[in-house]
Copies of this chain bind each other. A is one copy, B any other.
Amino acid sequence: MSRTRTSIVDIARAAGVSKSTVSLVLQGSPLVNEKTREKVNALIGDLGYVYNRGAANLRQAKSKIIGIVVNDLTNSFFAELAVGVDMVVQSAGYVQFLAHSGESVDRQRQVIASMRENGIAGLILSPARGTEANDIKPLVDSGIPVVVVVRNLPGARVSALLSDNYAGAKSAVRHLVGLGHRRIAFMGGFLDTAVSADRVRGYRDAMTEAGIELNDNFIIHSAPSRAGGVAAVERMMVFAERPTAALCFNDAVAFGVCDGLRSNGIEPGKGFGVIGFDDVIEAKTAVPALTTVSVDPQGMGQRAAQLLLKQINAGQTDQETLVTSVRLVVRQSCGAPVRQLEEMA
């Protein structure tokens, strides 16, 4: 309602002191006398003053905004990741600009440009499919720290936080083999992302390692979503010799596979072993509880944020690539005897 927002000079005038002093109070400087500090703080409350961070940034060129753009917020993996980032970012006194690229490189470029204009101090990026190092080059050239998560961006001079997809896939397949499965499928995802490629590679290597002949039909690509999982099962059902278990590209696909199996009269975890990837929250409570390779999206978000903050504070932009290890969480869907390998949270 107020014609013009009350500024630092308004409270300075009211307190009978200079704007510089008020500024000092605002920054909690020890230089200022206790009595004046109190007077100023009281006035700040009374006059309903709100700090203008924009003006401050203008002068000191260090904002308290960090940007995060994810390729698909609708996927709970990324939503959790964003929550993880938010937690640490917020408690470090920063605020988070979140945008969703919807897997569109164009849109991603737009939002990154927009974030730049708004003066972000750093960026966490889960790149849209098809993103190239060049897309973020101007940003990194300008010296703004960038941390890439989940999907790598080869050639870009940025830090990256990835999960060990290869090892995760391998251990999942080994576990299925250990349960006696030989005809094991890989379901969901396309080969257009490094994540997918790594998981498939892990699957392949584990199979050959176990002395099982690879059957290319058993790698069934489909959308990395619940619907994609259903579709993969449909395609599998026409095979003469069907798989007895599947490693899925992610948990969403795995849930879809369970759905698909059931509508074909097969009970997941009984007639067919299913393993997912990511360990989203629903994995634990689903029926049957999903055996999955735990990536801990929220923790990943936290680590990404910490890494970014470190770089922001350090000033220098020495890139580092962290591959976080993953672990297989055995629950019911793979058909393991329950007594075995209980999850240790």
Task: Tally A residues with Cβ within 8 Å of B.
Answer: 61
Contact indicator B99/A90 (Cβ below 8 Å): yes
Partner of A54, one of B54, B111, B260: B54
Which of chain A's residues 225-263 have a Cβ closer than 8 Å to chain B?
A: 225-227, 230, 255-256, 258-260, 262-263
- The main secondary structure of chain A at its interface with chain B is helix
Binary B-proximity of A1-15 (CB < 8 A = 1, otherwise 0):
110010000000000
Interface residue? A278 (CB, 8 A): no
> Which B residues are in CB contact (< 8 Å) with A111?
90, 95
Binary B-proximity of A270-282 (CB < 8 A = 1, otherwise 0):
0000000000011
Q: What is the CA–CA distance of A135 and B318 in the complex, to the nearest angstrom?
A: 43
Interface residue? A82 (CB, 8 A): yes
Interface residue? A79 (CB, 8 A): yes
Query: Which of A45-53, A170-178, A192-200 faces chain B?
Result: A45-53
Query: Which of A30-38, A116-124, A211-219, A336-344 faces chain B?
Result: A116-124
Partner of A117, one of B1, B51, B58: B51
A73 with B65, Cβ < 8 A, contacts A138-B48, A260-B287 known:
no
> Which B residues are in CB contact (< 8 Å) with A58?
52, 54-55, 58
> Which B residues are in CB contact (< 8 Å) with A74?
76, 79-80, 83, 281
Contact indicator A227/B285 (Cβ below 8 Å): yes
Partner of A287, one of B50, B61, B86, B263: B263
Q: What is the CA–CA distance of A196 and B218 in the complex, to the nearest angstrom?
A: 46
Contact indicator A119/B54 (Cβ below 8 Å): yes
Least Cβ–Cβ distance between A91 and chain B, in angstroms: 10
> Which B residues are in CB contact (< 8 Å) with A259?
285-287
Residue of B nearest to A113 (CB): B50
Interface residue? A319 (CB, 8 A): no
Q: What is the CA–CA distance of A168 and B281 in the complex, to the nearest angstrom?
A: 28
Contact indicator A285/B96 (Cβ below 8 Å): no
Binary B-proximity of A101-115 (CB < 8 A = 1, otherwise 0):
010000100110111
CB<8 Å pairs between A and B, sample of 15: A2-B143, A50-B113, A53-B118, A54-B119, A73-B82, A74-B83, A79-B79, A95-B99, A95-B118, A97-B97, A97-B98, A225-B285, A230-B285, A255-B282, A260-B287
